[in-house]
Amino acid sequence: MESWRLIDLGYSEPLVAQTFYEAVAEAVHRGTSPSTLILLQPGGPYACLGYHQDLEKELDVEFCREAGLPIVRRSQGGGATYLDRDQVFYQIVSKGSRVVPRDVGRMFERLLSVTVETYRSLGVPAEYKPLNDVVVDGRKISGNGAGLHETASIMVGNVILDLDYDSMARVLRVPDEKFRDKMASSMREWVTTLRRELGEPPSVEEVKQAYSAAFQEALGVELVEAEPSEEEWRIFEEETRPRHTSREWLYMEPPESQRREGRSVKIAHDVKVVEVDHKARKLIRVRAETRGDEIVSVQLRGDFFAIPKESVATLEEMLRGKRLDEKELAETIERFYRDTGVQIPGIEPPDFAEALLKVKSLT
């Protein structure tokens, strides 16, 4: 049976909570530390940015500063998020382990079986949803990311005891408050927590015990409790902390793929809230909630006017459940014009289709 190290860091300052595993990964890569499971809780709230994201586009930096919220850019992908003491983080760092497939899909499937089992043992019927989600009745209940550090592989994620939906929506940069409201309500709909599922969440100690037990059971390994090595703390203080607190790191230039027009916030697995502008002779501003390439709901605004003016609401209603597909959109929009006899000066039917297809480029 493989023996793994278990490090329980307890409540840790945000930078340690979010980045200490990188120092462990360096030691594991060097071969001076064994494969390791780290469990911890953030010691206080902070905002966390995905590796490739554009800081100022994603986060309301002024708000974070005023509220005294640290901002940490993680080394893993995905979207900006708000984290606090109501979560337990698990960070799995391994090298050459027979229980951790290096193929990303397989690794998520294997390691997330531990998360699924943890929730189940706490009384929540969680399920694995490929690629990297754990859901309850289709709602996300755990966020997960993975990466490589040289020869060490890393998977990190959380067990969500409770979630402050309003703070989550507050730290993100949004075009306006209505967008924020839409985002918060979408999160309430698509992201759940132990508190919501059970009424009262278990204690963090219970969660960590459940996770350790599931880890040993599902992976067939033995966990041996230990402290981080002196070398790991040294790597953290000399390399990890300085890198993560540098201006270059935090304000890292985002890749071209992030410099798209419009605003898109990922809520859970394939659900997004998106806003795009499309300039025809008049401006069309589309705000949509999407699930994959399906329109869950959509709002159409801009400086155009429709006669009769109620007809825009009809179009919004007709677009619900439609796919972001050129043909399907064109047909729906044509039918809308035909059925309502609407007139919209400065806007032709293909303009709506083009505006909606811009949403697709952001999903």
Partner 1 sequence: MVKIEGNDFPDDLYFHRDHMWVKVEGGNARLGYNDWAQSVAGKLVNLSTRKAGRSVKAGKTLGTVESGKWVGPLKSPVTGEILELNEEVLKNPSLINEDPYGNGWVAVIKAENLDAEVGELIKGSDKEALDAWLKAEKEKHGI
What is the binding site for partner 1 (CB under 8 A)?
A: 51-52, 75-78, 100-107, 110, 131-132, 144-148, 253-259
Cα 221 to Cα 100: distance, rounded to the nearest angstrom: 11
| Residues 99, 86: Cα–Cα separation, whole Å | 29
CB-wise, 209 or 264, nearer to partner 1? 264
Q: Which is nearer to partner 1, 65 or 102 (CB)?
A: 102
> From the CB of 245, what's the least distance to partner 1, in Å?
20
Amino acid making up residue 52 = H
- Smallest distance from partner 1 to CB 11, Å: 25
Distance in Å, CB of 252 to partner 1, minimum: 8
138 or 254: whose CB is closer to partner 1?
254
Give the span between the Cα atoms of 281 and 209, in whole angstroms: 61
Nearer to partner 1, 131 or 313 (CB): 131
Residue 79 C-beta: closest distance to partner 1, Å: 9
- What is the pairing mode between strands 36-42 and 87-94? antiparallel
**255/321 with CB nearer partner 1:** 255
- Please say which residue, 263 or 285, places its beta carbon nearer to partner 1: 263
In the bound complex, what is the minimum distance in angstroms from residue 177's beta carbon to partner 1? 28
Half-sphere exposure of 52 (CA within 13 A, CB side): 8
From the CB of 217, what's the least distance to partner 1, in Å?
Answer: 19
Report the candidate in 314, 285, 290, 310 with the shortest Cα–Cα distance to residue 300: 285
Residue 83: closest CA among 133, 21, 12: 12
CB 129 → partner 1: shortest distance, Å?
A: 12
Cβ proximity to partner 1: between 101 and 350 the closer is 101
Give me the residues paired with residue 92 across strands.
Answer: 37, 155
Positive/negative CA dihedral, 266, 267, 270, 276: negative
Residues 231/135, Cβ–Cβ less than 8 Å: no
Read off the tokens for 302.
């801009």
No. of H helices and E strands in the chain? Answer: 14, 16
- Give the list of residues 6+ apart from residue 205 with CB closer than 8 angstroms, or none: none
CB atoms within 10 A of CB 261: 11
- Asked if 201 and 141 count as a contact pair (C-beta separation under 8 A), the reply is no
- The nearest distance, CB 121 to partner 1, in angstroms, is 25
Residue type, 259: R
Considering the complex, what minimum distance in angstroms separates the CB of residue 294 from partner 1? 18
Residue closer to partner 1 by CB (options 111, 207) is 111
Strand order through the sheet with 81-83: 71-73, 46-49, 81-83
Q: Provide, rounded to whole angstroms, the least separation between the CB of residue 92 and partner 1.
A: 14
For partner 1, the closer CB: 147 or 350: 147
Backbone phi and psi for residue 270, each to the nearest 5 degrees, phi listed first: -100, 15
Q: Which residue's CB is nearer to partner 1, number 75 or number 332?
A: 75
Query: Side-chain half-sphere of 185: how many Cα atoms within 13 Å?
Result: 8
Tokens of 275: 């806003």
